[in-house]
């Protein structure tokens, strides 16, 4: 395994390595937040380090109050839990940038005093005009340094003046553009312009805040998306100016749509992290999927690819050199397959408990189900566990087991596929089942009970043998009567769960409607 651990920071902060994820609370959390958290956390756990959640809420124009809680909820749902953060505390409190404003100003003042930064009074309109002119004349875009060296009075006499200045860093002509990346090796970034580091509202920009916060929180490894490669020379320059040891960098490939475009919440609902929970995906399936997007499968005993694995297995074998730097395609079909595999691997009791919130949300079960209802659900869940790919699919299959016999709604497509001999089939089945003993009494030596095998034998004798109807067509009317649908859980097992009285009532109800 490649050794990439950095020395522990001064101040003896806990953890052999310290990594962080720093989302902005500007809306529904992006799936990229989970993607970055996964790789940060895998390395932190492997190395015996610490994982930090920091909230970067300096963009007040786009700030959304409920977004932070969504970050907490969705990452915890995925099991990507942090050791330090706004809600759990830690040695580097506070962990919200808006609560750290006093931290940044001394760094800005130092840069100003040393001539590494300068005040800029250019208005938004003036900057927009400057960029348009640069684009029109095909010049490199970037700030033209109109304010560099000017006093406030001198700048006031020029066009496009704003009363409240920003602070820009003064990027030297010989700025170092290359840096070492744990994933990509030596990287050469484009030359940066004089980036704003303190906004007119007194809030720092990302570029200053990330450097200060990562230093003060002892971050040893910065893992982020490849869109930040162009900003890294600015960050390394700030570290050098401030006499700080830079962390090691790892720039992850961006998640992409099928057309290779960057996945975004505006164009793809799957970019919203909350969407996966709403759609009935298991958290362990999504974690498995996100790992595979930028990392090779595990190797089996005979050299075969093993694509299904746990977070713990992923963390144990993790190595930065194995991360694929090519932007992966976000293939939901692959995720659907993984979700089905993980659903089938669940313990039946665990599977049942995971279904419950979806069934309650759809009104299939009440908020406080009875013990009898939970026992029936457990039985039904065992029938459908191999038949669904998303937890949201359960309500349609489970619902008929929790409605009154006279309230079973027959779907139009189920009624349409009933053939002319449906009435004869229902009559024969009703007569055959009516002759079976009632439900099992639990007394040793009692008569054969109302069980799926006994039900199957009776129905095959009456319908397949007795009426001469092929098995493929024999039981369609019975399935429709019991569930109201064309597709349902296994028929004989469903009848056993419903019981003799309910089964016969439903067969007779459909027969009466023909």
300-356 pLDDT per residue, tens: 988 899 999 999 999 999 999 999 999 899 999 999 999 999 999 999 999 999 999
Q: Looking at the structure, tell me whether residues 392 and 457 fall in a common domain.
A: no
Q: Can you give the pTM of this predicted structure?
A: 0.91
Q: Strands 50-53, 18-21: parallel, antiparallel or unpaired by DSSP?
A: parallel
Task: Provide the token pair at 318.
Answer: 């993790």
CA distance 294 to 35: 9
Q: Is residue 95 part of a domain?
A: no
Q: Looking at the structure, tell me whether residues 115 and 137 fall in a common domain.
A: yes
Residue 1 burial by CB count (10 A; 0-12/13-18/19+): exposed, middle or buried?
A: exposed
Is the pLDDT at 290 greater than 80, yes or no?
yes
Q: Looking at the structure, tell me whether residues 196 and 321 fall in a common domain.
A: no
Q: Looking at the structure, tell me whether residues 77 and 116 fall in a common domain.
A: no
Q: CB neighbours of 122 closer than 8 A, spacing ≥ 6?
A: 130, 143, 146, 147, 160, 161, 162
Q: Looking at the structure, tell me whether residues 68 and 123 fall in a common domain.
A: no
**Helix (H/G/I), strand (E/B), else coil: 311:** helix
Count of domains observed in the chain: 4
The CATH number for 233's domain is 3.40.50.620
* Neighbour tally for 378: CB within 10 Å: 15
Q: Looking at the structure, tell me whether residues 370 and 433 fall in a common domain.
A: no
Last residue of a domain, one of 202, 230, 252: 252
Nearest to 490 by CA among 380, 337, 388, 361: 380
Q: Is residue 94 part of a domain?
A: no
Is the pLDDT at 60 greater than 80, yes or no?
no
Q: Is 265 a catalytic residue?
A: yes
Last residue of a domain, one of 204, 219, 252: 252
Beta-ladder partners of 118: 168
Q: Looking at the structure, tell me whether residues 291 and 379 fall in a common domain.
A: no
The CATH number for 385's domain is 1.10.8
Residue 265 labeled ligand binder? yes
Q: Looking at the structure, tell me whether residues 7 and 76 fall in a common domain.
A: yes
- Section 226-253 average pLDDT: 97
Residue range 456-484, pLDDT digits in tens: 999 999 999 999 999 888 999 999 999 99
Residue range 64-104, pLDDT digits in tens: 888 999 999 999 999 999 999 999 999 999 999 999 999 99
Q: Quote the domain boundaries for residue 212.
A: 100-252
Is the pLDDT at 448 greater than 60, yes or no?
no
The CATH number for 442's domain is 1.10.10.350
Say which of 199, 265, 267, 333 is annotated catalytic. 265
Residue range 388-432, pLDDT digits in tens: 999 999 999 999 999 999 999 999 999 999 999 999 999 999 999
- Section 207-218 average pLDDT: 97
Q: Looking at the structure, tell me whether residues 43 and 187 fall in a common domain.
A: no
First vs last Cα of the chain: how many Å apart? 70
Q: Looking at the structure, tell me whether residues 270 and 341 fall in a common domain.
A: yes
Is the pLDDT at 268 greater than 50, yes or no?
yes
Q: Looking at the structure, tell me whether residues 155 and 67 fall in a common domain.
A: no
Residue 444 pLDDT grade (very low, low, confident, very high; cuts 50, 70, 90): very low
Last residue of a domain, one of 219, 252, 285: 252
**pLDDT of 439:** 63
Query: What is the rounded average pLDDT for all residues in the chain?
Result: 93
């Amino acid at each position: 395994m490649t050794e990439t651990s950095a020395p522990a920071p001064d101040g003896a902060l806990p953890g052999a390595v310290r990594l962080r994820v720093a989302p902005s609370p500007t809306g529904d959390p992006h799936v990229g937040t989970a993607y970055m958290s996964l790789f940060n956390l895998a390395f932190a756990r492997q190395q015996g380090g610490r994982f930090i959640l920091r909230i970067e809420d300096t963009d007040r124009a786009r700030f959304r109050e409920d977004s932070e809680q969504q970050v907490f909820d969705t990452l915890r749902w995925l099991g990507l839990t942090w050791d330090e953060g706004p809600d759990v505390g830690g040695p580097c409190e506070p962990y919200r940038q808006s609560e750290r404003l006093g931290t940044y100003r001394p760094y800005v003042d130092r840069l100003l005093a040393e001539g590494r930064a300068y005040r800029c009074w250019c208005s938004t309109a003036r900057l927009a005009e400057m960029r348009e002119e640069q684009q029109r004349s095909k010049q490199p875009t970037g700030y033209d340094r109109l304010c560099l060296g000017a006093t406030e009075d001198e700048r006031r006499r020029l066009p496009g003046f704003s009363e409240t200045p920003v602070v820009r860093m003064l990027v030297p002509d010989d700025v170092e553009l290359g840096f070492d990346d744990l994933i990509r090796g030596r990287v050469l970034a484009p030359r940066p312009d004089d980036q704003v580091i303190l906004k007119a509202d007194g809030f720092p920009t990302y570029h200053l805040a990330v450097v200060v916060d990562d230093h003060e929180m002892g971050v040893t490894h910065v893992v982020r998306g490849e869109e930040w490669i162009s900003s890294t020379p600015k960050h390394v320059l700030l570290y050098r100016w401030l006499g700080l040891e830079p962390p090691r960098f790892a720039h992850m490939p961006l998640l992409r749509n099928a057309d290779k475009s960057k996945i975004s919440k505006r164009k793809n609902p799957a970019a919203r992290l909350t969407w996966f929970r709403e759609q009935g995906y298991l958290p362990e399936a999504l974690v498995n999927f996100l790992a595979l997007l930028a990392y090779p499968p595990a190797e089996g005993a005979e050299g075969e690819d093993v694509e299904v694995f746990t977070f713990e297995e992923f963390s144990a074998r993790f190595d930065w050199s194995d991360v694929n730097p090519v932007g992966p395609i976000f293939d939901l079909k692959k995720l659907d397959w993984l979700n089905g595999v993980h659903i089938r691997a669940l313990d039946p009791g665990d599977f049942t408990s995971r279904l419950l919130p979806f069934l309650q949300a759809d009104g299939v079960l009440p908020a406080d189900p009875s013990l009898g209802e939970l026992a029936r659900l457990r039985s039904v869940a065992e029938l459908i566990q191999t038949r669904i790919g998303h937890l949201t699919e359960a309500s349609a299959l489970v619902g008929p087991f929790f409605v009154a016999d006279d309230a079973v709604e027959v779907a139009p497509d189920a009624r349409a596929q009933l053939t002319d001999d449906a009435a004869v089939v229902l009559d024969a089945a009703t007569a055959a089942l009516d002759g079976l003993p009632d439900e099992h009494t639990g007394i040793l030596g009692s008569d054969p009970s109302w069980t799926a095998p006994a039900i199957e034998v009776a129905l095959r004798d009456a319908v397949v043998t007795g009426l001469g109807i092929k098995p493929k067509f024999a039981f369609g009317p019975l399935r429709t009567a019991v569930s109201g649908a064309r597709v349902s859980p296994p028929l004989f097992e469903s009848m056993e769960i419903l019981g003799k009285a309910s089964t016969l009532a439903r067969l007779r109800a459909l027969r009466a409607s023909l």
